[in-house]
A and B are shown apart, each in its own frame.
Chain A
């Protein structure tokens, strides 16, 4: 058995050691990605709101009813 195989075998405890490390990295990567996704959503919603506001302001005011 070469040294890389020995390393991955973890002395017979591979089925406990590697899932633990996989979970550690999966959770932390998800924790790092989540705020970026939320950030894009927040800014997109803000732009939509601002665009709607400026549309409302630029609309010409209706002419007063003629007598």
Chain B
């Protein structure tokens, strides 16, 4: 490993250190996710007014858009971890990439189903093969491909490297999902939230949405840490630190 990487980061990459680090941060991330989620949903479901065109059906936006954003955000995170895993062969990066996939798949699945439930009353159809919906479905298949490839190998680290390669190739789909509403004619509406410009939404609808987007980020951290900790135990079963945890938990 190169010398420009600070020592603490170096240490954090070691499984027992990260196990403890993730264990102490996870409750805080989960608490923040729950708190922000409660505030965001109260703002979205109770305080925000009904939409003048869509009535109350638009309230699906408060879970649909954050989930859709997470489906792309987690894919990018997984791709970055997969790249680090392939180039520097860091075990922790492999685990982070592989354990991000199920969370990303969960959010992609939520996006597709909530979108369908929103599409039926607004567009009159559950599903249409347009660019945004199809590319999001491809994203789900990419996640499932990464998960499947990882488990297809007898040797887990070999499986992780193969799946990491697929994850990196699949990154090409993320900008396609994001820009699909601009590049092709579609039933799907354009982006409502705009970080750099003016958002096309009134503030009493916007702040609950932004709060939910933050809540899902913290949820991802909490869920990822939970999964990575378990995976490290499974991967390092032969090591002393894991044997100690196994023995300690048998006693309690």
Contact = CB atoms under 8 A, between A and B. Distances in A.
Contact of A16 (B45, B57, B219): B57
Interface stretch (B149-157, B169-177, B197-205, B224-232): B224-232
Given A35-B229, A43-B233, A24 B55 contact: no
Interface string A31-46: 1101110110011001
Interface stretch (B5-13, B129-137, B180-188, B240-248): B240-248
Contacts of A16: 57, 60, 117-118, 120-121
A63 B64 CA distance: 72
Interface residues of B, number: 39
A5 B223 CA distance: 35
Interface in B94-132: 102-103, 106, 109-110, 113-114, 117-118, 120-121
Nearest to B46: A7
B211 interface: no
Contacts of A34: 102
B85 interface: no
B243 A50 contact: yes
A13 B119 CA distance: 12
Interface residues of A, number: 28
Mostly, the B contact residues are helix
A21 B113 CA distance: 10
Contacts of B247: 47, 50
B217 interface: no
A19 B247 CA distance: 43
A24 B114 contact: yes
Contact of B63 (A13, A20, A43, A49): A20
A55 interface: no
B111 to A, nearest CB: 10
A11 B120 contact: no
A39 B237 CA distance: 12
Contact of B56 (A10, A19, A27, A28): A10
A42 B234 CA distance: 6
Contact of A31 (B223, B230, B249): B223
A1 interface: no
B71 interface: no
Contacts of B56: 10-13, 17
B195 interface: no
